[in-house]
């Protein structure tokens, strides 16, 4: 059967599926929209008849119905296996992500990953993010398991919208409850901080805590951890409220979701002061005592993990600390260590791969948006110049919620660059960061134009994504 002739559309060949009396596929129109084409049994799907073919919009209702027919379109928990989160701020990147993931079948992908912060700036709902990922993997014919990550959740209200949408990994971010000042607090101030902890909700007392830790040696393979009273109290003051917040969020998720239908990640990476291995041990011990079960944990590692650029710090110091964190995760779980703001950290990937093995999760996000801008710089330099001008104007405002070192005076103004030099701006650390964190402002002004341009040059975009992300995955493919 000649589907293109029958539909009058351009059919994505990887999407073609024949099952239970139904043939379906994804196809594109010249107006920049895709359609679901269905032949045969199409009960529950909404669309318009074109002869024997039903052409359906990529609506929420049709996504839900198709997922009931094709099980591989639904995300699932991924367990203790190496995994990578592919963030997509635009809703168009999943085909490129799939192509990268296919090259490394030992790594489980999370194709839907978005934080509340990003959702606010992109104007997309959790369900839209999940559906966009689903249509993208359907387009490419992905039939393996995949996950969906509700990233950096800070409140029950935030979590509920992702629960309702069908996410399978919930990343709890209690960073606002981490007390970095406890690291250097004077003795009297430290005692006050510990006394003020929510002991009743923690189902504990200061004395009970001391009895569990003091005088104990925690054997972690190549080394042991012994917490003296000051170390313990500083760990409790720093992370006690974060533990309490995580427990409450976890118990809420348990009340909403079926056992085995979701996984938890704990993230304390967005704080000013690194998490020591002893503090990591304290957090894991307390969460386990309170009945929390998690699949991955993201400490605040030593050094700086800024958006869109390589690791800033000494790789050898990082490797030594990472080894100790990996030992804690193995002993206290096992569970995966999660590397947030993890894209482009090429200088430390070899150490991570060697030390973590299967127990590792990598999160990427804005790097896919930067590849979209690379595409724009190549196919429409004038448009890229407009984006750059806006990004420079908005940077000081939009950087507020990120830890960055980019300086505007190190980012060339658009009028100083020839067209051939524009893509090179995406290799320059300051330029990458300025463009990376201003995505919300760019979408506010240029969303439709940006998406239309990428759609017209979608194969180029997919190729850029595949090459860039495959460079990441190659370190962890085993």
Which residues have a catalytic role annotated?
A: 151, 265
Number of helices (H) and strands (E) in the chain: give both, helices first. Answer: 17, 16
Phi, psi angles (nearest 5°) of residue 80? -85, 70
Q: Peptide bond before 218: cis, by omega within 30 degrees of 0?
A: no
Give the rounded distance of the alpha carbon of 172 from its chain centre. 12
- How many CB atoms within 10 Å of residue 175? 18
Q: Determine contact, residues 275/243, Cβ cutoff 8 Å.
A: no
List the beta bridge partners of residue 264.
170
Cα separation values, 449 from 135, 248, 415, 446, 453, Å: 21, 43, 21, 5, 6
Sorted by sequence, the CB contacts under 8 Å of residue 207 that are 6+ apart come out as none
Please report the DSSP string for 23-67 in residue order: EEEEEE-TTS-EEEEEEE--TT---EEETTEEEE---HHHHHHHH
Give the rounded distance of the alpha carbon of 13 from its chain centre. 29
Phi, psi angles (nearest 5°) of residue 48? -115, 140
**Tokens of residue 30, six digits:** 């010249």
Provide the greatest CA pair distance for the chain.
Answer: 80
Question: What does the alpha-carbon distance between residue 49 and residue 45 come to, in Å, rounded to a whole number?
Answer: 11
Cα separation values, 8 from 50, 59, 113, 139, 187, Å: 10, 20, 34, 17, 75
Cα separation values, 224 from 62, 190, 229, 277, 287, Å: 55, 25, 16, 10, 20
Sorted by sequence, the CB contacts under 8 Å of residue 57 that are 6+ apart come out as 33, 35, 36, 46, 47
Q: Determine contact, residues 43/68, Cβ cutoff 8 Å.
A: no
Sorted by sequence, the CB contacts under 8 Å of residue 364 that are 6+ apart come out as 84, 85, 86, 87, 342, 343, 469, 472
Q: Determine contact, residues 349/308, Cβ cutoff 8 Å.
A: no
Please report the DSSP string for 62-106 in residue order: HHHHHHHH-GGGS-----SS-EEEE--SSS--HHHHHHHHHT-TT
């Amino acid at each position: 059967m000649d589907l293109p002739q029958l539909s009058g559309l351009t059919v994505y060949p990887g999407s073609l599926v024949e099952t239970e009396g139904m043939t379906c596929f994804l196809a594109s129109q010249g107006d920049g929209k895709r359609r679901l084409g269905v032949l045969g049994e199409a009960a529950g799907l909404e669309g318009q008849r074109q002869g024997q073919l039903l052409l359906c919009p990529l609506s929420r209702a049709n996504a839900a119905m198709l997922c009931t027919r094709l099980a591989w379109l639904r995300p699932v928990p991924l367990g203790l296996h190496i995994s990578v989160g592919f963030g997509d701020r635009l809703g168009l990147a999943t085909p490129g992500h799939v192509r990268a993931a296919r090259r490394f079948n030992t790594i489980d992908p999370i194709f839907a990953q978005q934080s509340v912060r990003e959702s606010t700036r992109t104007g997309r709902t959790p369900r839209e993010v999940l559906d966009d990922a689903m249509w993208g993997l359907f387009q490419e014919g992905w039939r393996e398991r995949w996950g969906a990550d509700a990233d950096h959740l800070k409140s029950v209200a935030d979590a509920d919208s992702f629960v309702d949408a069908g996410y399978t990994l919930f990343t709890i971010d209690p960073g606002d409850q981490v007390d970095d000042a406890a690291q250097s607090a004077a003795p009297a101030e430290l005692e006050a901080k510990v006394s003020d902890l929510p002991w009743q909700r923690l189902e504990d007392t200061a004395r009970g805590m001391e009895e569990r830790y003091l005088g104990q040696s925690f054997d972690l393979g190549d080394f042991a951890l012994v917490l003296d009273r000051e170390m313990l109290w500083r760990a409790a003051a720093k992370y006690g409220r974060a533990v309490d917040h995580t427990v409450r969020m976890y118990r809420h998720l348990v009340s909403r979701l079926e056992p085995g239908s979701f996984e938890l990640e704990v993230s304390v990476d967005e704080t000013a002061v690194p998490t020591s291995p002893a503090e990591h041990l304290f957090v894991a011990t307390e969460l386990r005592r309170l009945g929390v079960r998690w699949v991955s944990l993201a400490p605040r590692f030593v050094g700086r993990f800024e958006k869109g650029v390589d690791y800033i710090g000494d790789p050898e110091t990082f490797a030594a600390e990472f080894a100790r964190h990996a030992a804690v995760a193995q002993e206290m779980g096992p569970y995966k260590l999660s590397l947030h703001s993890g894209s482009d950290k090429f200088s430390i990937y070899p150490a991570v791969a060697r030390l973590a093995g299967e127990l590792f999760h990598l999160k990427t996000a804005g790097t896919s948006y930067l590849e979209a801008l690379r595409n724009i710089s190549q196919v429409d330099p004038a448009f890229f110049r407009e984006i750059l001008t806006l990004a420079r104007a908005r940077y000081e405002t939009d950087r507020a919620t990120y830890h960055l070192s980019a300086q505007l005076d190190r980012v060339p103004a658009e009028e100083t660059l020839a067209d051939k030099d524009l893509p090179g701006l995406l290799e320059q650390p300051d330029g990458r960061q300025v463009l990376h964190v201003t995505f919300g402002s760019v979408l506010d002004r240029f969303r439709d134009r940006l998406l239309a341009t990428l759609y017209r040059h979608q194969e180029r975009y997919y190729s850029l994504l595949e090459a860039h992300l495959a460079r990441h995955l190659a370190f962890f493919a085993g």
